[in-house]
Amino acid sequence: MEFPAIYHGYKVVYAWHNVVPIFWSASYQTIPCVMCYEIGRPTKRPAGFGPLAVFDDLDFALHFRSVVDIWGLLIFECDYVPSGDETLWFIIHSGARVETKILPRGTRFANEVTITRRVA
């Protein structure tokens, strides 16, 4: 399947100790991988891990933030390069692949994400 080069979406991040402009992914709610995001800088998926996760609609990102009970979750507009993955996954120390297919509605997978502007 071919994808356009860049899509527009929304990324939910955690403002860790209000250290700006560095934000952490909220994905550890489903997969224990924490990524660092900076405004205007591309974040690429690391080796040994599956895709990064974004939302395709602001309403889905807002709903996710409302049901995750963590203070400090922010939502940014983002540009992303889609991946062909169908799940979130990572490789554990034994070499086994761990994945989850139960994801919030509106989740899309990316190889690279650049957060651009805070919207909520």
Reported as a single tens digit per residue, the pLDDT across 82-119 is 999 998 887 777 888 888 888 899 999 999 999 999 99
Radius of gyration of the chain measured on its C-alpha atoms? 13
pLDDT above 60 for 22: no
Which pLDDT belongs to residue 51? 92
For the chain, which residues make up each domain, given as ranges? 7-118
Read off the pTM: 0.85
CB neighbours of residue 93 within 10 Å: 5
